[in-house]
Amino acid sequence: MGVFHRYDVRGIYPSELNENLVEKIGGAFATFLQPGATVVVGHDARLSSPALKNSLIRGLTECGVNVVDIGIAATPVVYFCCYKLGLGHGVSITGSHLTKEYNGIKFCDEAGIPISNEKGLKKIGELANSENFRVGNARGKLTEKNVEDAYVEFMKSLTKNNFSGKKIVVDGANGSAGKLYARILKESGADVVEIYCEPDGNFPNHTPDPMKKEFIVDLEKKVRESAADVGFAFDGDGDRLAVVDNNGVMCNPNHVFAMLAEDVLKDNIEKNKNDKKIVHDVLCSKLIDDVVAQNDGVSITWNVGHTLTATKCFEENALMAGEVSGHYFFREANYTDDVMVACLKILGVLKNSGGQLSELTKKYPRFYEFQDRIPTRADAKFKFIEELKQYLEKKYEIITMEGVRVNFENGWMLFRASNTEPVISMGYESSDADEFEKIKKIADEIIKKIPR
């Protein structure tokens, strides 16, 4: 089925993903679990989300699985219900950062870790397709629960700081997270200016994708107008974060990650603990390795994708992980991509240093860097990367842990197929201007060959 990807379900509503299919997916997930299991269900602000949620709940309960409906919720809140409140497995009905035509489903286990293909999503897809459902003896029970207060209290318990005197602009992108996250920041003492925090599935102000610069301009402007210390922008389901500094300029995600890594490593040293590991994805700057090393830490390069990242973090007992796409995973939140924890840590750094964000990020050396996500045909993306490997292998030494990467003397270049979208993600970086130009030429030639 075309809507099943490696980490989640995504499709255009209703042509690809509709009530009928989602009810089957509910039956499939119930069959994958056991009759009598419990699933927490939350949904984002999209117009189609309430209807899809009801279909999913019908599919689940008819196959004997109990459901706790938490209503409109950011995806990290669904994870929280699993790893902290112990309510069961979790489902978030969300199209995440995609445009309003889309919707999707993210599944997680009892630890709040996403169920990827390898962990069962493939099986769920097969069951939905075959409609070979296991029906329990009794219909599952449906209860409603408001977990917002519990989540707010948990987040507040993670910081000893009071952020009075700090002014923050929050851009909720009219998604499911804005109001809740603004509330946490307010209750932590900060002066919060809200833009687009009312849920509205038409996304009348901008697409809920904070990693695209064109969707950050309103936040940048508002930070300048209100002379705020920082701006936070979230995606449609609140698991991605972009940060705007006190000058109203979007921070480089590598700088945000470096600051967070430095903070958790210093905090760890203060606590006299010997945990040092920071996990990052293959598209992160060398800056992360350098900052981690300078702070006596150990950095681990790992594959892109929440499930793999979280699994690696548990294995290594890492302090945190990050992806250059704006996902941050902390031990305190069981390595779920709970970006509210990142916001609280950034504010903690601001508070404790007494400095401004633009000053704090200035100390990081600038690399020449370029990143892009190039649309391609879904059926061509993996084949393209395979052919690229064969081509580059003849000329360079390549690394194929994730896509294909070439290391240069002072930099690197990487191309990989996105697991979730018909997109080739690519990037290159160098500390040397001439080498950067050389890599750019090579990369531009490759980009021309990507099938459109």
From CA 282, how far away is CA 358, in angstroms rounded?
A: 26
Q: Which is nearer to Zn ion, 212 or 362 (CB)?
A: 212
Question: Nearest to residue 427, comparing CAs of 410, 404, 448, 450?
Answer: 404
Clarify whether 96 is annotated catalytic: yes
**Per-residue exposure over 302-329, b if at least 16 CB sit within 10 Å of its own CB, e if not:** bbbbbbbbbbbbeebebbbbbbbbbbbb
Q: Which is nearer to Zn ion, 69 or 235 (CB)?
A: 235
Which of these segments, 88-96, 115-123, 218-226, 265-273, binds Zn ion (CB under 5 A)? 88-96
From CA 443, how far away is CA 452, in angstroms rounded?
A: 16
Least distance to Zn ion from the beta carbon of 237, Å? 4
From CA 292, how far away is CA 284, in angstroms rounded?
A: 13
* Beta bridge partner(s), residue 428: 370, 413
Number of residues near Zn ion (by CB under 5 A): 4
**What do you get for the CA distance between the two ends of the chain, in Å?**
22
Instruction: Sort residue 88 into left (φ over 0), alpha (ψ -120 to 50) or beta.
Output: left
**Which contiguous run of DSSP H or E holds residue 130?**
helix 122-130
Residue in this structure with the two tokens 């499930």, named with its chain if needed: 307
Q: Which is nearer to Zn ion, 240 or 277 (CB)?
A: 240
Least distance to Zn ion from the beta carbon of 333, Å? 15
Least distance to Zn ion from the beta carbon of 79, Å? 12
Least distance to Zn ion from the beta carbon of 74, Å? 9
Backbone angles phi, psi at 312, to 5 degrees: -65, -40
Using the rule CB under 5 A, which residue among 31, 49, 96, 309 binds Zn ion?
A: 96
Q: Closest residue (Cβ) to Zn ion?
A: 96
- What is the token pair recorded at 259? 């600051």
* Beta bridge partner(s), residue 38: 66
Q: Is 12 exposed, middle or buried (0-12, 13-18, 19+ CB in 10 A)?
A: middle
Contact set for Zn ion, span 237-256 (CB under 5 A): 237, 239
Q: Which is nearer to Zn ion, 321 or 446 (CB)?
A: 321
**Are 384 and 417 within 8 A, CB to CB?**
yes
Contact set for Zn ion, span 376-405 (CB under 5 A): none
Least distance to Zn ion from the beta carbon of 320, Å? 18
Q: Which is nearer to Zn ion, 75 or 159 (CB)?
A: 75
Least distance to Zn ion from the beta carbon of 46, Å? 12
Amino acid symbol at 44 = D
Which of these segments, 93-101, 122-130, 287-295, 306-314, binds Zn ion (CB under 5 A)? 93-101
- Exactly one of 92, 96, 299, 431 is catalytic; name it: 96
Residue in this structure with the two tokens 């919060």, named with its chain if needed: 192
Backbone angles phi, psi at 301, to 5 degrees: -85, 130
For the chain, what is the total number of helices (H) and then of strands (E)?
14, 19
Q: Which is nearer to Zn ion, 235 or 369 (CB)?
A: 235
Site string for Zn ion, 147-186 (x = CB under 5 A): ----------------------------------------
Least distance to Zn ion from the beta carbon of 424, Å? 20
Site string for Zn ion, 201-240 (x = CB under 5 A): ----------------------------------x-x-x-
Q: Which is nearer to Zn ion, 25 or 339 (CB)?
A: 339
Residues labelled catalytic = 96
User: In the complex, which residues of this chain contact Zn ion (CB under 5 A)?
Assistant: 96, 235, 237, 239
